[in-house]
Amino acid sequence: MSGEAEVGRSGGGTSGGGRILFPPLPYRMKARITQALGNEQLQQFVGQATDRKTRESDAVLTETFGDRLGPLRELAGRIKQHTLDHLDVYLERFVDAATAAGSHVHFASDAEQANAICVQIARREGCRLCVKSKSMLTEEIRLNGALAQAGVEVVETDLGEFIIQLDGDAPSHIVTPMIHKDRRSVGRVFERKLGAAYSEDPVELCQVARQALRQRFRAADLGVTGGNFLVAQTGSVVVCTNEGNGRMCSSVPRVHVAMVGMEKLVPTYRDLTVLLKLLARSSTAQAMTVYTQVLTGPRRDGERDGPQQMHIVLVDNGRSAILRSEHREVLRCIRCGACLNRCPVYRKLGGHPYGAVYSGPIGAVLTPMLRGLVNYRDLPQASSLCGACYEGCPVRIDLPGHLIWLRKQSVSQGVTGLRERIVFRVWAWSVRWVSTYRLSSWLCRRMLRAMAAVGGNLAKGDRCSARGWIGWRVWPLSRWTAARDLPTPPADSFRKWYAKYRKGSGDE
Amino acid sequence: MSESVRAEQLGESRAAFMARVRQAVGRRGQAESMETAPEVDEALVRLVSPQDDVVELFTRRATAAGMRVYHVDNTGVAGTVTEIVRAAGAGRVAVAVDGLMAHLREAGATVVDRVDGNAALWELDAAVTGVTAAIAETGTLVCCSDAQQGRLLSLLAPVHVAIVRSSDVVADMLDYWDRFGGDGAGPVASSQVMITGPSKTSDIEGVLITGVHGPGEVHVVVVDP
């Protein structure tokens, strides 16, 4: 989390980055949605980037797997589901194997405990400078702030996260965190914070970052990574990166801490293979991420380099509650970002309106489950339920199904808004009896036709196209008609027309 | 810091953590009658058969991933490596493969000796390493940490030259684990890194840039005996 490093330095309140992903609760999406919809550049950026990723990813998946894609996703989902169904067994196996390989395994029930463990390790080993590779879990638990408060300087080393940290901004995508920023903002922040000459050339900007970060890697005494997978059989942590910063963080500093959600387990290397074959292709349309590290303990006797200590912190932080619920399959998620890239809502808004670390469809499901539906009641509504997320999911999580369930929960828990409750109460009344149904549909037809008449667009005749369109531009219908045409309804109801049609047998 | 202090476990106790997980999955008593894991069906998962021309496929896929691939016989290794190092303008070179030092020195390169620790690695211009295996399906190199090359050698230099014996090219990742993944036959290396291309980022407006933290150039010399 970007803002937090500055919190530690200044000892002050939460900076911009912190508020974006950790807004005051209960969180309401509307203000940020309005803001995002008014930002054409953001929409263009996010829209183009996600569209390209989706097309490339679909092409690679089809080319590589052909007809096998469906069954392979099914298998990947079953492997993860099986592991979750027996998570206790696989966790025990993992802890034993990791310990045997020389790693220290720690357990954290919540974010606070997870941070405390990392801080204690840093204190005990006298670490002052932490280099960190990209990790959603550490964003979720706000590790950077905790380390900074303990006097440990934290440097994000993924290029996107580095830029976001320097700029006091917040990541907006699981895989490509600065999807919402352009090269000019990068040039400006490097000029301001690193004293580099202003540039708009991405190659030059990369070189600036490379030079700045190499100094930090060399000096760091603590490396923190996440973990994409944990292999129970061998006690290995698997870290997938493209830039090489993950390798730096787990190879150069004398202490390596991997902070990992407890749901990341797979039983064996063969199971891992199934998931690795799908992960990068679903995520960035690559066959493999450039670097896939399988780390099994610290430096061994006789090895030339690598950390002297490897710590693995297994984090619950609300996951056991999901594991216990009927929504266990949500924990299959391997954080590929395919559902974000495919979601028409995410594509329009980017990640920040979700008001949480996890955005897009998986965020709309996971965030209310982890942080309370009452705090995030808008998120399950931020979907057209088109199912594109489900279609793209490599582990077959029924995201639309979970969204619908959360909507039902909203109603049964009474967390929906007053206006919504009134509208649905009226609607329920109107369809409850034949008489009220006839009355309400008659009323609606008359009103809409009146609007069309006032708008001057009510054509004669009875075919749909010939009836014309409603030109009414007055609130609240203007919310619809400003952007879309609404056809004028016919004068009579379908039931009446049908009765006439039957009598006249064929007379339209 | 003493070993006993280091081993001290922080946070929640393992027993408490596990009890919560057991309760969440609905486990009562022991887990002897656990259902078996879904079978990783080779017909579904395997993308390349060992019967295929794996070296040819590896060459194509590695090239597609952005690496340069050379084919030589035993006698051609030194010459090709020297040529790559010279073309890259590399002055300071580290070598973790036997029999190349003399050639590189002759060609004017400064061969960095690693006995003095790892500091010199940060100033390298190129590094020459072996690999544990290569995977044809994705054009991937696998470098395991060992006494000779550790974790950093294939990471810190801007130019990485990897020597691959053609017999070490496996068809599919499944074959890599079968041959090198331990599976009870001995401990795996502390670090197994699968490398598929030069270091890459597309964080800035989706523009693909190589060499951001790791090597910007990866040269693969495949040796056919």
**Which chain A residue lies closest to B140 (C-alpha atoms)?**
A288
pLDDT value of residue B114: 66
Instruction: Identify the pLDDT of residue A4.
Output: 34
**Nearest-by-Cβ selection for A89 from B26, B34, B215:** B34
Tell me the two tokens of residue A5.
């490093």
CA angle A357, B212, B134 (to 5 degrees): 95
Q: Which of A182, A189, A177, A180 is closest to A139 using CA atoms?
A: A177
- A91, A125, A163 member nearest B1 (Cβ): A125
Cβ distance of B206 and A49 shorter than 8 Å: yes
- Cβ-based contacts of A202 with chain B (< 8 Å): 204-205, 207, 209
Between the alpha carbon of residue A55 and those of residues A124, A338, A341, A408, B137, the distances in Å are: 49, 11, 10, 33, 22
Tell which B residues from 24 to 43 touch A, by Cβ distance under 8 Å: 24-27, 31, 34-35, 37-38, 40-41
* CB count in 10 Å sphere of residue A504: 9
Q: For position A3, what pLDDT does the model report? A: 34
Q: Within chain B, which residue ranges are assigned CATH 3.40.50.10420?
A: 46-223
Look up the pTM and report it. Answer: 0.90
Distance CA B225, CA B221 (A): 12
Average pLDDT of span A377-404: 96
* Shortest Cα–Cα distance, B158 to chain A (Å): 11
Q: Is B185 on the interface with A (CB under 8 A)?
A: no
User: Tokens 């840093």 identify what position?
Assistant: A122
Task: Using the predicted structure, report yes or no on whether residue A209 has a pLDDT greater than 50.
Answer: yes
Average pLDDT over residues A80-105: 96
User: If pLDDT is split at 50, 70 and 90, which confidence band does A317 have?
Assistant: very high
pLDDT score for A505? 61
When pLDDT is averaged across residues A341-358 and rounded to a whole number, the result is 94
Chain A CB contacts of B65 below 8 Å: 287, 290
CB proximity list for B75: less than 8 A, separation 6 or greater: none
pLDDT at A373 over 80: yes
Residue-wise pLDDT for A10-47, tens only, equals 333 334 568 899 999 999 999 999 999 999 888 888 99
Q: Mean pLDDT, 10 residues at a time, over chain B (225 residues)?
A: 52 95 86 79 95 97 97 94 90 89 87 74 93 97 88 94 96 94 68 96 89 95 93
Least confident window among A274-278, A361-365, A381-385, B8-12: B8-12
Rounded distance between C-alpha atoms, residue B190 and residue A301, angstroms:
10
Angle between helices A30-37 and A40-65 (to 10 degrees): 90
Of A78, A182, A273, which is closest to B173 when you measure between CB atoms? Answer: A273
Q: In angstroms, rounded to a whole number, what is the distance separating the alpha carbons of residues A131 and A250? A: 9
pLDDT value of position B24 = 96
Question: Which secondary structure element, helix H or strand E, spans residue B161, and what is its range?
Answer: strand B159-165
Specify the higher pLDDT residue, B28 or A139.
A139
What is the three-class DSSP state of A91?
helix
Contacts of B139 in chain A (CB under 8 A): 287
Measure B86 CA to nearest chain A CA, in Å: 23
Which range of A296-305, A421-430, B52-61, B200-209 scores highest in mean pLDDT? It is B52-61
> How far A504 CA lies from chain B's nearest CA (Å)?
60
Rg of chain A's alpha carbons, rounded to an integer?
Answer: 27
| pLDDT 10s digits, A466-479 | 677 777 777 877 88
């004398």: which residue's tokens? A254
Amino acid, single-letter form, for residue A167: D
> Residue A403 corresponds to which tokens in the numbers above?
């969204």
Q: B86 at the A interface (CB within 8 A)?
A: no
Residue A211 pLDDT grade (very low, low, confident, very high; cuts 50, 70, 90): very high
> Is B45 touching A (CB cutoff 8 A)?
yes
Answer yes or no: is pLDDT of A499 > 60.
yes
Tokens 């090895």 belong to A303
For residue A410 the two structure tokens come to 């909203």
3-state class of A239 per DSSP?
strand
Fold of B46-223: Rossmann fold (3.40.50)
Contact A79 B174 (CB under 8 A): no
Residue type, B211: G
The rounded distance, in Å, linking the Cα atoms of B224 and A361 is 50
| Nearest residue of chain A to residue B114 (CA atoms) | A304
H helix runs in B13-124, sequence order: 14-25, 42-45, 54-64, 77-87, 101-106
Query: Over the stretch A436-464, which tens digit does the pLDDT of each residue have?
Result: 999 999 998 998 888 877 765 555 544 55
In angstroms, the CA A49 to CA A181 distance is: 11
pLDDT at A60: 97
Calculate what percentage of chain A has a pLDDT beyond 70: 93
Residue B28 CB partners (closer than 8 Å, separation 6+): none
Å from B115 to nearest chain A CA? 10
**Is A244–B6 a contact, with Cβ atoms under 8 angstroms apart?**
no
**Residue A444 CA from chain centroid, whole number:** 40
Look at residue A13 in the predicted model and tell me its pLDDT. 34
- Specify the pLDDT at position A466: 61
pLDDT one-digit tens code per residue, A223-271: 999 999 999 999 999 999 999 999 999 999 999 999 999 999 999 999 9
Confidence check: pLDDT of A508 > 60: no
Percent of chain A exceeding pLDDT 90 equals: 75
DSSP string covering A258-278, please?
A: EEEETT-EESSHHHHHHHHHH
pLDDT recorded at residue A461: 47
Tell whether B199 is within 8 A of chain A (Cβ).
yes
Strand A129-132 to B209-210 pairing:
unpaired
Least confident span in A227-241, A320-334, A492-506: A492-506
Q: How far is CA B38 from each of CA A15, A76, A80, B2, B219, rounded to the nearest angstrom?
A: 47, 9, 10, 44, 39
